[in-house]
C-alpha cells in the first residue's frame, strides 16, 4: 500500500512545489517507486520534471472523473522510479465542475485508489488555496507535509491550515495524519529564521522535522531547466537537504 502524502499550505511561495519535486526525486534516488500528482493548475510540479502540459494529451483534469483511464495520464520522467500525473490550466474549471457533484471531496481519492499497488509513495502537490482541489487532496492522502517559509506571515497561515486539517480528519478523512512541518528558505544569518524555528518548536514540538531547507540559488535555478535540484547540482546545499528529508520521511511515522 502506498504512502500518500499531500504537500499543502494555503500560502503561496512557501516551497510546496519545490518540496514535492525534490522530495520525490530524492525518494526515487533511494529506489522508491514514486508518483507525483500535480494538483495545481499552474503545473509547476509537472514542468519541474520536464513534463510540459501543452506537450501531453492526458492530464489530471481529463481523467479526474474517469479512474479507469488514470494510467493513460501518467508519464515517466528522466529519473528512474519516478512518474508524474501532470496538471493543466484547465484544472481551474474542476472547482466549478465538482461543486454540485455528490461526494465531491472524494474524486481524487477514487482516481488514486487503483494506483496504490503500483507505487511506494504518491505525492500530491496542491495549489496555494484551501479550495475544492486542495480539499480533494486532503481527502485522498494519509499524511500531510506542511512546508513553512521562515517569515512572520507564514506563522499566521499555519494555524488556519492546522484547523482545516483537523476538520478534514474529523469529518471527511479520519485516516489522515500530520507527517510534519518542514522549514524552508532558512537563512542562518537572519534572526527571523531563528525566531520562526523556535516558535514552531514551541507550538508544534512533535511535528517540526529535523531537516531544514536553506535558501539556495541552485534550488531556485533548477526548475528553469526542467530538473529537480539533485539532477541539476547534487552537491548543492539544497540537494543535500532534500536527500536528508527523503531519509527522514522514509523513517518517520505520521502522528
- Whether residue 157 is predicted with pLDDT greater than 80 in this model: the reply is no
Return the pLDDT at 255. Answer: 66
- Whether residue 223 is predicted with pLDDT greater than 80 in this model: the reply is yes
pLDDT exceeding 70 applies to what percent of the chain?
Answer: 99
- Residue 52 CB contacts under 8 Å (≥ 6 apart), including other chains: 43, 46, 226
- Whether residue 113 is predicted with pLDDT greater than 80 in this model: the reply is yes
pLDDT top residue among 136 and 11: 136
**Rounded Cα distance, 153 and 157, in Å:** 7
Return the pLDDT at 158. Answer: 79
- Whether residue 153 is predicted with pLDDT greater than 80 in this model: the reply is no
Q: How many CB atoms lie within 10 A of CB 13?
A: 14
Specify the pTM. Answer: 0.94
Return the pLDDT at 59. Answer: 95
- How do residues 11-53 score in pLDDT, each as one tens digit? 777 889 999 999 999 999 999 999 999 999 999 999 999 999 8
Return the pLDDT at 53. Answer: 86
Residue 15, H or E segment: none
- Whether residue 192 is predicted with pLDDT greater than 90 in this model: the reply is no
Sign of the dihedral through C-alpha 219, 224, 227, 233? negative
Q: What are phi and psi of 72, to 5 degrees?
A: -70, -15
- Residue 1 CB contacts under 8 Å (≥ 6 apart), including other chains: 116, 117
Rg over alpha carbons for the chain, rounded to the nearest Å, is 17
- How do residues 43-71 score in pLDDT, each as one tens digit? 999 999 999 988 999 999 999 989 999 99
Amino acid at each position: 500500500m502506498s504512502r500518500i502524502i499531500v504537500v499543502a499550505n494555503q500560502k503561496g511561495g512557501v516551497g510546496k512545489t519545490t518540496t514535492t519535486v525534490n522530495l520525490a526525486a530524492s525518494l526515487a534516488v533511494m529506489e522508491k517507486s514514486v508518483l507525483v500528482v500535480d494538483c495545481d493548475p499552474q503545473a509547476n510540479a509537472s514542468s519541474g520534471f520536464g513534463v510540459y502540459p501543452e506537450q501531453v494529451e492526458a492530464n489530471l483534469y481529463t481523467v479526474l472523473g474517469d479512474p479507469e483511464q488514470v494510467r493513460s495520464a501518467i508519464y515517466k520522467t528522466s529519473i528512474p522510479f519516478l512518474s508524474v500525473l501532470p496538471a493543466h490550466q484547465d484544472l481551474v474549471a474542476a472547482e466549478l465542475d465538482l461543486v454540485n457533484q455528490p461526494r465531491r471531496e472524494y474524486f481524487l481519492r477514487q482516481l488514486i485508489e487503483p494506483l496504490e499497488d503500483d507505487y511506494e509513495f504518491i505525492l500530491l502537490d496542491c495549489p496555494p488555496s484551501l479550495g475544492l482541489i486542495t480539499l480533494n487532496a486532503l481527502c485522498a492522502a494519509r499524511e500531510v507535509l506542511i512546508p513553512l517559509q521562515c517569515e512572520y506571515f507564514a506563522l499566521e497561515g499555519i494555524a488556519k491550515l492546522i484547523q482545516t486539517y483537523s476538520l478534514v480528519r474529523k469529518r471527511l478523512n479520519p485516516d489522515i495524519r500530520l507527517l510534519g512541518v518542514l522549514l524552508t528558505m532558512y537563512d542562518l544569518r537572519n534572526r527571523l529564521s531563528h525566531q520562526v524555528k523556535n516558535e514552531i518548536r514551541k507550538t508544534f514540538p512533535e511535528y517540526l522535522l529535523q531537516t531544514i531547507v536553506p535558501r539556495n540559488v541552485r534550488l531556485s535555478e533548477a526548475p528553469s531547466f526542467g530538473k529537480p535540484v539533485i539532477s541539476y547540482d547534487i552537491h548543492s546545499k539544497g540537494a543535500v537537504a532534500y536527500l536528508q528529508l527523503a531519509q527522514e520521511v522514509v523513517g518517520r511515522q505520521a502522528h
